[in-house]
A and B are shown apart, each in its own frame.
Chain A
Amino acid sequence: MTHRQAVIIGGGPAGLAAALRLREKGVSDILILEREQRLGGILRQCIHDGFGLTRFGESLSGPEYAQRFIDRVQQEGIECITDCTVLDITPDKVVTAVGRSCGLLQIRADAVLLTMGCRERTRGALATPGTRPAGVYTAGVAQNYINLQNIMVGREVVILGSGDIGLIMARRLTLEGAHVLGVYEVQPYPSGLPRNIEQCLNDYGIPLHLSHTVVDIRGRERLSSVVVAQCDERFRPIPSTEQEIPCDTLILSVGLIPENELSLAAGVELDARTRGAFVDEHHQTGVPGIFAAGNVLHVHDLVDFVSLEAEQLADSAAEYLLSGSLPECGLEVKAGQDVGHVIPQRISGTRDFTLSLRVRRPLQNVSVVVRQGGREVLRRKMRKALPAEMIQLPIKAEKLTADADMEVCVE
């Protein structure tokens, strides 16, 4: 067994940003383990632009955004092993991994950084009835085929779910000559960002049908049609609204789930709302020395914020490694009225931190209010608040006390 100061699980945007910040903070012994053959994570297949507007002030494609970090990781000589899958992490931070070039690795780490990203929900998760023909893909798989492997997935396309990747793929498929018949969303509002509705659907005349879902999938070898139906407010299909749509491809863009199998093996407790770890303001999980940031912690809308969060994680992880401990976080942060989730879930009350949250439903002219023991810490007015848009609020230590739990609500 070898020993490393910091082992980073996953070489996507979160892992790369964390590695660079750790190095800046004086941590010398860093190892990135990446399952794919190349660094960059999901950005490798996100060839559309719009990345980096916050961070670099310019609109980059995913691969360009990733390369800026990869170049710096290489300049810094930070060790990365690609094509290497982590099999297990123990609560005392022994990482077991296997790869073509590295063989079987067992590493005892002082700190483990969980930056594995997320996975797509699949047809299985929806339990959509019907046959099991070819031609049903998640949006990210279709994106991988088209953008990385040069394989066209189909010609007559229906998209279920209005997540951002589905919207991006509606445009991408149209540009590549496919006919996108429509996007069907079970909720009464879109789950993707408004700008993507505009530039990916409206620009190409692709209809968006809210409060609709797919109730049957038909076809023997290849998909031949889907049946869509209108849904009531409890997402139940309304009888006699069914409509059969002939198509050869169904793209699912129905949500992302943080990929936390390894976290569970390490004894990390997960939050049922985010499906990521419970973390404190240092991004430390319930297991000392194991940290999490990026989409493995909670699904983000923008990579710029993933990088930022990973850097905040690395600031704390560096402090943990260099000083041996982090301040106790004994106060709970609770999600109150109309708040879907909060990150972090625990704070010390003595330090600045960034509060991330999502609202449960679309709201207009509201205020996000942060209170501690009934005392107002921060109030942010918002003209509109959408579940599709993560809200981030910087909270200053001088506004906090170290003796009362925090509640976040929307009023």
Chain B
Amino acid sequence: MKRTFTCIVCPNGCEIDAEYEGTNVLSVTGNLCPKGKTYVTQELVDPRRTIATSVRVTGGALPLASVRLTAAVPKARIFDVMREINQKTLDAPVHIGDVVISDILGLGSDVIVTKNVEKA
């Protein structure tokens, strides 16, 4: 099988032509670095993505603190992850790196705060 992938690992966005059988990658061309091959393999076996969103903050100088995942989660679970994060509310102050949810849905990824929100 042949397929062209757009690598999303870095802003280079390499177009990678891959030949594969099932989940076994036979050859890749067009990638500027080895991460491209890892990406293609991962896409075939278990495509994963990170997401960023925000969580409400009570008593803060801002109404929201932005959050992100520390590791990619299976693509098919993104909306489950969003639902889980949306149930959270934080109390100010919060700081960059604070863990909002650890090991979300047992997927091996933490939800961390990415913006400092001091008390109002």
Contact = CB atoms under 8 A, between A and B. Distances in A.
A66 to B, nearest CB: 9
Given A63-B96, A64-B96, A198-B6, A193 B66 contact: no
B34 interface: no
A75 to B, nearest CB: 15
A175 B30 contact: no
B7 interface: yes
Contacts of B7: 195
B42 interface: no
Contact of A147 (B30, B51, B64): B64
A193 B13 contact: yes
A102 interface: no
A172 B75 CA distance: 15
B2 interface: no
A61 B11 contact: no
A150 B64 contact: yes
Contacts of B75: 203
Contacts of A301: 11
Given A150-B63, A175-B51, A50 B96 contact: no
B104 to A, nearest CB: 14
Interface residues on B, range: 20 to 34
A297 B70 CA distance: 34
A67 interface: yes
B68 interface: yes
A26 B50 CA distance: 41
Interface in A357-388: 383-384
A384 B15 contact: yes
Nearest to A388: B13
Nearest to B75: A203
Nearest to B56: A150
A172 B78 CA distance: 12
A40 to B, nearest CB: 9
A148 B13 CA distance: 29
Interface string A137-166: 000000000011110000000000000000
Contact of A47 (B49, B53, B56, B82): B53
B11 A193 contact: yes
B82 A194 contact: no
Contact of A175 (B6, B15, B82): B82
Nearest to A147: B54
A136 interface: no
Contact of B68 (A61, A193, A197): A61
Contacts of A53: 10-11
Interface of B: 6-8, 10-11, 13, 15, 30, 49-54, 56, 62-64, 66-68, 75, 78-79, 82, 96, 114-116
6 contacts: A61-B115, A67-B116, A150-B54, A175-B78, A198-B6, A199-B8
Given A147-B54, A147-B66, A150-B64, 17 more contacts: A44-B115, A47-B53, A47-B54, A60-B114, A61-B114, A61-B115, A63-B115, A64-B96, A67-B96, A194-B6, A194-B13, A195-B6, A195-B8, A195-B10, A198-B6, A198-B13, A302-B11
